[in-house]
C-alpha cells in the first residue's frame, strides 16, 4: 500500500492515506484523494478506468462498496473516495496498480489544465 501511495502521490494534487479497518475487512486499505473538479475525473470514472484496463484492477468506492453489509447501518455518508484493499494483491502487483492509477490521474490532470 505504501508503494502504491508513493507512486500516485507523484501526481500533483493527489494525496493518500493508509488505514486498517477494524470492523469489516482487516486488511490495510489505501485511500486516494484528488479534487474531482480540478482533475475533471470523478472517483467513479477512475474506478471504471481501472476495471477496464489490460488487467482489471478492482477498487472500492461509495458506489462499489465491499460486499460486507451490516443490517441497520446506513450507507457511507463520507465523500466518495477511491480505496484499494491489499487483501488480494500478490507480490509485484502493487507496482502494476500504482503505475496504472498514476497514469489515469496524471492524464486527467493534464487534460484539465
List, run by run, the mean pLDDT of 10-residue segments along the chain (113 residues): 97 96 82 95 95 92 61 54 92 96 97 88
Please give the pLDDT value at position 22.
80
Domain that residue 41 falls in: 2-69+77-112
Cβ-contact 59, 83 below 8 angstroms: yes
Q: Sheet containing 82-85: give its strands across.
A: 15-19, 29-33, 82-85
Please give the pLDDT value at position 68.
44
Please give the pLDDT value at position 64.
67
Tally the domains of the chain: 1
Please give the pLDDT value at position 65.
60
Please give the pLDDT value at position 113.
79
The CATH number that applies at residue 30 is 3.90.1150
In 3D space, the residue among 53, 44, 62, 65 whose CA is nearest the CA of residue 97 turns out to be 53
pTM, two decimal places: 0.85
Please give the pLDDT value at position 67.
45
What are the Cα distances from residue 73, in Å, to 22, 40, 51, 68, 76?
16, 32, 28, 11, 9
Amino acid at each position: 500500500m505504501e508503494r502504491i501511495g508513493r507512486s500516485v502521490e507523484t501526481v500533483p494534487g493527489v494525496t493518500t492515506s493508509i488505514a486498517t479497518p477494524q470492523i469489516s475487512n482487516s486488511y490495510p486499505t489505501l485511500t486516494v484523494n484528488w479534487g474531482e473538479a480540478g482533475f475533471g475525473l470523478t472517483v467513479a470514472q477512475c474506478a471504471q478506468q481501472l476495471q477496464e484496463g489490460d488487467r482489471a484492477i478492482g477498487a472500492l468506492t461509495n458506489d462499489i462498496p465491499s460486499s460486507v453489509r451490516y443490517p441497520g447501518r446506513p450507507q457511507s455518508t463520507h465523500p466518495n473516495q477511491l480505496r484499494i484493499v491489499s487483501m488480494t494483491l500478490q507480490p509485484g502487483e502493487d507496482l502494476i496498480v500504482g503505475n496504472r492509477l498514476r497514469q489515469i490521474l496524471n492524464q486527467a490532470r493534464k487534460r484539465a489544465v
